[in-house]
Structures are given as C-alpha cells and as structure tokens.
Amino acid sequence: MNTSVFRSLRAGALLSLLLPLAGSSSLTDWATRVPAAPAVPAARPLQGAKPDPAVIAQFGLYNSSSLQSLINAKGKQMTAVSDRPGDYGFTVVDSPIINAFATPDGHVYFTRGIMAYFNDEAQFAGVLGHELGHITAQHGKKQQTRSTIAGIGMILGSVLAPKVMQSVGGVAQQVVGLGMLKYGRDDENEADGLGVKYSTKIGYDASHMADFFQTLQRTEEQSGSSIPTFLSTHPNSADRYTRVKGLAAQAKQSAGRSTFAVNRNQYLKSIEGLTYGEDPRQGFVENSVFYHPDLKFRFPIPSGWKSQNSPEQFQMAEPNGKALLVFLGAGNGTLDAAAQSLAKSIGLQSAQAQKTTINGFPAMVIEGDQAASDQQSTPAHVLAQLIQDGQSVYAFVGLAAASTFSTYAPQFQRAAQGYARLTETSKLNRQPEHIRIKAAASNTTLASALAANGIPSKRYEEMAILNGMKTTDQLPKGTLFKIAGK
C-alpha cells in the first residue's frame, strides 16, 4: 500500500490555519472553503450521540449503511450492559489508516481501514468494547475532543520534533499530538478488561480480541513504518496478548453460558466491497507528484517530504519538522477576497501582497510573519501563494521559522509553480481497490487460493495479514477469505 499520502490529516499541526476548516466533509469542498476565525471548543458532557463535526471534517463519513448499522447495533448493546450507560455514538469514518478511537464527549470512531482487517464479529466487538471502556472509565475526561483528534492517525506528531514545532509559531502549544492518546498502562489494561467484559456480555468470544492484536502487530512489522496505527496510539505491552486471552477465559467461565459467537462468515460478507487502502479519487501521490482525479489538478511535492491528505487539505512536512507546506481551498470568490480572508485567519502581520500569474493562472502572493501564540513561541514566517483556477481559488501556504525561511521558500515556490490541470488519462481514471470475499474452490493453502484469484506473489504476505492467516495455512473447501482488487 502507498504510505506516502494519508487522507486522515486534520487540524492542529498548522497553527491556527487548520482549525478554522472544520465542517468540510468532502475533498471537493476544498474549492469553496473560506477560512474563518477558529473557535475555542467548550467542555461538553458525555453525550456524543452525534459525531463531532471536526472529526468528520478530518476523515469524512464512510458511506456504508450496513457497517454503520453494525457498529450502531453492537455499540448500543454494549452501552446497555456497560458500567456507565449514556448517550454515546458510534461512527465509521473514511480513512485507510488502521485505527479506532474514542473522544471524551462519548463517541467511538472506527476507520474503514480497521474494519478491513477484522476477520470476525468477535474481533470487532472486542475492540469496540475496548474503546467504549475508555469512555465509561472516563480516561479522557480531562481532554478536549479537538485536542484529542489533533493527534489521531497523523504523521506530523512524529515528523515535527517538539522543539522545532515550538519554534514554528508555537505549534507545540496548539497540538496535543499522539502523546495525548497514549493512555498509561493502567488505563490501557483497564480498557482491555472492559473490552473483554462488554463483548462477552453481549455474547462474543473475547479471546478473538487478542488475536486481532497479533494481526495489527504484523501490519506494523510489514510496513516498517512509524506511521501511527491502532497499536501505536494504544501501546501494546509484551504480555498483552496473553493477558487478554486469560481475561477472556475467565469471562467465559463466569458468563453462565457455554457458547460464544464468532460470526466469521457473517462479518466477512458484511465488508464485501469495502474500500481498501488509499482512495485515489480523493488524491494520491506518485513519484513526488500529488494528483487529484476528481478535481483534475496536479502539482509536485518537495522531494523527500512527508505528506498527508484529508478532505480539507493536503499537507507536506520537511522530514526534520523544520517547515510545513499546505495546499487547501480558499473559496470561490475573487483572489482579493480569498487573500484577505486567508491572511486574517492565519494572523499575518505586516503582510505584503502582490498580484501575479503562476503557470498561466491568475495568482496572488502574500508574505509576512505570523504572530507568536505566546511569549515562549517564535512566530512563523509565511508565504501564501493563491491561484485562481476557474471559479475556485486554491492556496499553497508555506511556514518556517524566520531564521530558516529562505532555505525553504524555493521549495514552497516550486510546488505552486508546478500547479497544473490534470489531463493524463491514466491518472484521471485511477480507481481504488476494494475488499472482495472469495471461497476456496477446494482444499488448499491460502497462497494457492490467492494465486487462483490473480493475486501476485509479492502481495501474498499483505493478503495473509489481511486475513489474519499465514500463507501456508490450510483452507478447507468453501472457506471464505479476503482479497483486495479493483
């Protein structure tokens, strides 16, 4: 899978620039979003029946009534038997990153990425119970929802070193980052125990929750990546698998029943057609170029920089965290209006603006300093390059500390100067992969079954992990298994 671009980026890492953008749920909204002054979220009670607009702005809703019905039904069942029944909500969001998280207002989110890697309802229920456990145990009651989501599924927590973030406009004060989601060992153990407890209470075999942890560990080992996933935001101790297996055995003994549901085939059939990995229709990176088939544009990204994509913007970060470059929609009015609104939302001081053309498009360039967020932070120097493309205005916003700005300004400029309409048919027609459920035609191994379904050998291990199996595992005739394809 392509790990160079991730659709799950949301506010926080770009100073106050990104916070105003909450509310956009589709990448096509880039063309019409106009930044406004950020609002400070108020503390809210544990009543999260409706998804937070900021979370949906970051990820987007995943359009699957069957999966939404599943998470609603199981979530409500668990809520009823939980230690703290409440008005909680459950939502599947449109991100390929393998993650599940709960926000302190009482809402649980599962990405489509994690839904792809579950292999039965028991695994799904165990993780759902774990996240509900964080809510019912009030592990995040001191965290603001938007502070929490600032660190979910983002690479910028690892890309931007804290001391560098400190120097770029006080990002360290505005981004809670991954650390906020890394509950302590006691909280994680308690959530594991509650996941076992709640999933067992509604009739599932909670030992499968431990099996899923092994699948996730394999995904990280295969990718060799530090990209945050469920395991990195939910730290995994060496004995976690054994501990959860033991808790599940104890829960079964005290449950007063002898049979527990797994529902493997039922779950697999429910994810038939699930989008797998990146959805190129929403933008993708290839050979250091960002392409957007639906909006029909392209531009180069600085060589070697990390990048993340979201429904709202595409962000690029210098590997050592010394500079940021963001591409986002700046409205569908005039260049003058878009520039004024953007400069105000960023908080530019003594900004200089100049009208020009960039690669044949009407454009405006703004440069200035951003006010420091507090006495400890150093203001960022900002170069904003706005481009009028038809009715839409897009902006490239580059930020770096004043002392190093001249080093990165040429890279900011090259990205904007390379903006162009996308005309390549092969890029315009790029389609995502989907999960397909197949049945073994005979007694066979997983590797042979994959080969029979046209999966190239270089993807055997990837597909084995997706199925929670090894390539040498035996599949009796009729056994269902997953493949990914167009």
Q: At residue 273, what is the residue type?
A: G
Query: What is the Cβ-side half-sphere exposure of residue 448, based on CA atoms within 13 angstroms?
Result: 12
Q: How confident is the model over 356-386, as pLDDT tens digits?
A: 999 999 999 999 988 765 554 567 899 999 9
Give the separation between CA 224 and CA 466, rounded to whole angstroms: 16
SS in 3 state form for 296-364? CEEEECCCCCEEEECCCEEEEECCCCCEEEEEEECCCCCHHHHHHHHHHHHCEEEEEEEEEEECCEEEE
Between strands 323-329 and 313-317, the pairing is antiparallel
Interatomic CA distance for residues 254 and 393, integer angstroms: 62
- CB-count burial class (<10 Å; 0-12, 13-18, 19+) for 430: middle
pLDDT tens for each residue of 109-122: 999 999 999 999 99
Per-residue confidence in pLDDT tens, the chain, 486 aa: 333 333 322 222 233 233 222 222 233 343 433 333 333 333 344 557 899 888 887 788 999 999 999 999 999 999 999 999 999 999 999 988 888 988 888 999 999 999 999 999 999 999 999 999 999 998 876 444 444 444 433 333 222 223 233 333 333 222 222 233 456 778 888 999 999 999 999 999 999 999 998 888 888 777 654 444 455 555 554 478 889 999 999 999 999 888 999 999 999 999 999 999 989 998 999 999 999 999 999 999 999 998 888 777 888 989 888 899 999 999 888 999 999 988 888 888 778 899 999 999 999 999 998 876 555 456 789 999 999 999 999 999 999 988 899 999 999 999 999 999 999 999 999 999 999 999 999 999 999 999 999 999 999 999 999 999 999 999 999 999 999 998
Provide the token pair at 250: 């104890």
Q: What share of the chain is helix, strand, coil (3-state, %, to 5)?
A: 40, 20, 40
What long-range pairs does 405-409 form, CB within 8 A, spacing at least 24?
Answer: 405/381, 407/322, 407/323, 408/318, 408/322, 408/323, 409/383
End-to-end distance of the chain based on CA atoms, in angstroms?
A: 14
How would you classify residue 364: left for phi > 0, otherwise alpha for psi between -120 and 50, otherwise beta? Answer: beta
pLDDT per residue over 15-29, tens digit each?
323 322 222 223 334
Fold of 280-428: Protein Transport Mog1p; Chain A (3.40.1000)
pTM of the model: 0.75
C-alpha span between 469 and 59 (Å, rounded): 29
Say if residues 327 and 395 touch (Cβ distance below 8 Å): yes
Closest CA to 21 of 277, 395, 290: 395
What is the rounded CA–CA span in Å between residue 87 and residue 44? 13
* CA dist., res. 1 & res. 360, Å (int): 35
